Structure 1
Amino acid sequence: MINIIQIKVRGYHLDIFQHVNNARYLEFLEEGRWAFFDEFGAGTELMEQGLAWAVVNINIDFRAEGNFADVLEVHTQFSKLGNRSVTMKQRIMNAKTDTLVAEADVTYVCFSKEKKAAVPLPDDYKMKIQKALEESD
């Protein structure tokens, strides 16, 4: 499963050099993950169980600049499944030029609000994530 959203670069996304500020890419990536989880269906149900996805690691490689009025596509998919964690691969592409702007690996843990600690993923989510991984191979 892969989810793709589009974001148009606005003036407030730019830095002094007139290209997208590096911190804005974190917001673009997060928007992509929220859209992915909306489609995947892993938000409200987990919260009702007292669980949440907590980001524990983000690695971003910047490849090209994003500029004012560019339309950027954020591609999001699962890439790795652990007992308590899941890693997502994200790519930001310039929709007009098909240029890779940035790519990131984001690791989440399943976090129990009650225990204030990472806990194993519920079995139904592990199976659902595994299926999504197999579909994207």
Structure 2
Amino acid sequence: MAVRSLNVGSFPPRMAFTVEIPVRFRDIDGMQHVNNAVYFTYMEQARSEWYRQLMGIHSVAEFDFILAHASCDFKEAIGFGETVVVKVTLTKIGTSSFRFTYEVRSKEKGTLFATGESVQVTYDYKAKRPVPIPPKFRKMLEAELAKS
């Protein structure tokens, strides 16, 4: 898992946050390709690494936000033996939310397997409602958005 310059397929040649994930046997379904639900796991894994490596979040107790939306557009089937590269890009910051987009590609060939999006909302678990993004976290998000 790395933050590095990557030029795979149509990725622009610039700094991008990417995570490499080998396809596991358990990811394969009866149709002999990666099950659709696993694509969301790949995006979650990449998003978690983004939080850890770029935001310095190392504990679940530090996650004061929830996943409000997740979507995936499937482009090509992923087979066993592939290693996928998941690119995570912060694309928008709102009052209480922030959005990521994802590209899931073949490490070897650059084939685009899927694109996705997620929206996270900062959340007060006691009050059970959204709250504005805390200033310190917002500043960190804004710094990352400026790099995107």
TM over 0.5, shorter chain: yes
Counterpart secondary structure, 1:128: helix
Residue 126 of structure 1: aligned partner:
138
Shift in Å, 1:22: 0.2
- Which residue of 34, 39, 46 maps to 1:20? 34
Contact 1:36 1:77 in 2 (8 A): no
Seq. identity, %: 24
Q: What does 1:106-117 align with in structure 2 at a 5 Å threshold?
A: 106-117=118-129
Give the distance between the partners of 1:36 and 1:134, measured in 2 at CA.
15
Counterpart secondary structure, 2:133: coil
Shift in Å, 1:12: 1.1
Contact 1:80 1:88 in 2 (8 A): yes
Residues 44 and 11 of structure 1: CA distance in aligned 2, closer, same or farther (over 3 Å): closer
CA RMSD between the two structures = 1.8
Give the distance between the partners of 2:139 and 2:65, measured in 1 at CA.
16
Contact 1:89 1:105 in 2 (8 A): yes
Counterpart secondary structure, 1:26: helix
Give the distance between the partners of 2:145 and 2:133, measured in 1 at CA.
15
TM-score by length of 1: 0.90
Shift in Å, 1:41: 2.2
Which runs of 5 or more structure 1 residues have no equivalent in the other structure? Answer: none
Segments ≥4 residues shifted beyond 4 Å? none
TM-score by length of 2: 0.84
Residues 29 and 8 of structure 1: CA distance in aligned 2, closer, same or farther (over 3 Å): same
Report the residue type matching 1:130 in the other structure. E
Larger RCO (CA within 8 A; separation ≥ 6): 1
1:30 corresponds to 2:32: no
Give the distance between the partners of 2:60 and 2:71, measured in 1 at CA.
25
1:56 corresponds to 2:68: yes
